[in-house]
Amino acid sequence: MVWQKAIKIVKGTYLLAKELPEDEKFGLISQMRRCSISIASNIAEGWGRESTKSYVQFLKIARGSLFELETQLIICKELDYVSNETYNKINDLIVEESKMLNTLIKAINKK
């Protein structure tokens, strides 16, 4: 479910990127796409390592990318690049994913 939510974040980020000005193509757009993909990719890579320690480390990297995306989303909002509706949709996904990642990391660390 954590990975599935991350895929929704990628999709939402790509849709949001279409709203951004063309001159952000190599700035915010590129950066936001990369870090959103990094979230899902790190969850998958950690799972594929078949090691609890590696999995937790990759989940933490995914969480870092999630926070990076959150910061970039705030920047987009501050620059009036995105509507309140778009901002809220992506931000809600980010908040949900953050809670899910934190819960998963804690559960794995208790084992």
CA distance 25 to 91: 21
pLDDT at position 78: 95
pLDDT at position 69: 98
Prediction pTM value: 0.93
The torsion angles phi and psi of 81, rounded to 5 degrees, stand at: -85, -25
pLDDT at position 17: 92
Mean pLDDT, contiguous 10-residue spans, the chain (111 residues)? 97 93 89 97 94 95 98 95 94 97 94 68
Contact 29, 17 (CB under 8 A): yes
pLDDT at position 110: 85
All domains in the chain, ordered by first residue:
2-110 (1.20.1440.60)
pLDDT at position 24: 87
